[in-house]
Amino acid sequence: MENSCLLSWIIFTPLLFAFLVMILPKSMEHLFRKIALVQTLVSALIATYLYSRFDGGVAGAQLTHLVPWLPEWGINYLVSIDGISLPLVMLTAFVGPVAILGTWPDLSHGAQLKKEKFFVMCIMALQTGMYGTFLSADLFLFYFFWEVVLIPMFFMIGIWGGKDRIYATVKFFLYTMVGSLLMLVAIFWLIKTSAEGNGTPSAAYETLSGLSFAFDGSSFGAALTSPQSLLFLAFALAFVIKVPMVPFHTWLPDAHVQAPTVGSVFLAAVLLKMGTYGLMRIAIPFFPQAAHYFSSVFIALGVIGIIYGAFCALAQTDFKKLVAYSSVSHMGYIVVGLFSFQKIAIAGSLYQMINHGISAGGLFMVVGFLYERLHTRNLEDFGGLAKVVPLMAIGFMIMTLSSVALPGSNGFVGEFPILLGAFQVHPFFVLFAGTGVILGAVYALKAYQMVMLGPKTRTDLEHLHDLNCREIIAMGVLTVFVFGIGFFPKTFFWKSDAALDVYSNTLIQKVGTYATK
């Protein structure tokens, strides 16, 4: 087994910088965000080197790093990367500097951030948790990093959030912890089973994914009480809460509205993908028969989320809440694709995780740009801004086109394969999901019209400044990805092809149905 430290470097580099910030005196607080930017750039460079080292022709785990942790319990520090986790690691790496640049307080206008040292440390700890979640190859280590992410986000919303931040923080914490407790019980069940079957306990993905659990699909009651179903549902609930999938979504709009802009960017771009990644990496492949049996339920809930989220977004006057509900809608497509058990739809789901992270992150930054300048998120307070801030209008339009999945944008690369693949097995559901595409265009273009077009609704726009240099760079990077992925998707995703092929073929073989042509 190759024992490379490269993945550990990308996981713990943010934490090392967090310790550096911690030991610096308060008199150097003007450097804290600069250090945060340097950290994200260093992480992006390490990720770029990692991408160059990754062999796209190999479907299995690469660059494995193993350090014994609790070997008597079968728990180790075990990290690795494959074609499924690679795009999510790259997303995390490039969202970091974009989020820092795009949400930097404009100090020349007197903006100050309370407890800035702790704020920057939270951003760094958050990145360590996200990297660790995507790179873990040990289930208990996955759970550890999954919980690590909760802590800095809890503080970011609770300390630097809006006026209702306490309510939003408690709601976010309770929802997440309920799912986490169920997942922890299921993890110990798996480790115990591995000890009984193999003689020694193990929490390694490779070992646990090979375990066999009884499943009886002769009736709904028998299926529901089968050991495999109980384990699947325990993991699935934890993951769909994080996605979030209707009806477990109510924490998200509150968290987004109350969170500082940088928190919203990370939450939408990366944290939500931890839920869909968990479904793809653990819940579905570990328990394929149960996942296949209940797939119609999850697809139906995904479609409901697509339509419900779109209608809720359409009804909003708070710009930030509109984007939050649009995330509920767009994440529904990923759930539909994963549970279709079709190669093209599964690939589309992975692509959509990345593409939604780009578009949603960009839209939340636009919300932040406007709030920083006008101190409002009410769509009715805007209007006619395109002539005043043309660069912002262009950036907003590009992110809108990505969100509505216009052909040639990255959004189309994800949504179209999902709908195409799912239509082969669930045409009825996909017809309803297709209405979400139309509704998505309606609410997104309506928001653009209310903000950038039409008559001016304010008289205090003379001194409104357009995007500055850092904001142009942040939006420019996202724009490159929007059109780069849109026109050249294989350039970005070809290293995932081998892993996706093996993943899909293995699933199809295990469930014994839905052979993909």
pTM of the model: 0.93
Residue 517 above 60 pLDDT? no
Tell me what pLDDT residue 2 has: 62
- Taking only the tens place, the pLDDT of each residue in 250-277 is 999 999 999 999 999 999 999 999 999 9
- Taking only the tens place, the pLDDT of each residue in 150-179 is 999 999 999 888 888 899 999 999 999 999
Question: What is the C-alpha to C-alpha distance for residues 448 and 14, in angstroms, rounded to an integer?
Answer: 36
277: nearest Cα among 239, 234, 327: 239
Quote the DSSP letter at residue 107: G
In the chain, the amino acid numbered 349 is: S
**How confident is the model over 209-235, as a mean pLDDT?**
91
Residue 458 above 80 pLDDT? no
248: nearest Cα among 292, 302, 284: 302
Tell me what pLDDT residue 1 has: 52
Tell me what pLDDT residue 105 has: 65
- Taking only the tens place, the pLDDT of each residue in 48-75 is 999 999 999 999 999 999 999 998 899 9
Q: Is 391 exposed, middle or buried (0-12, 13-18, 19+ CB in 10 A)?
A: middle
Residue 110 above 50 pLDDT? no
Residue 285 above 50 pLDDT? yes
Q: What stretches of 199-294 show up as alpha helix (H) in DSSP?
A: 205-208, 220-225, 227-242, 251-258, 261-266, 272-278, 284-286, 288-293
Tell me what pLDDT residue 459 has: 75
Is the CB of residue 308 less than 8 Å from the CB of residue 246?
yes
Question: What is the C-alpha to C-alpha distance for residues 349 and 346, in angstroms, rounded to an integer?
Answer: 5
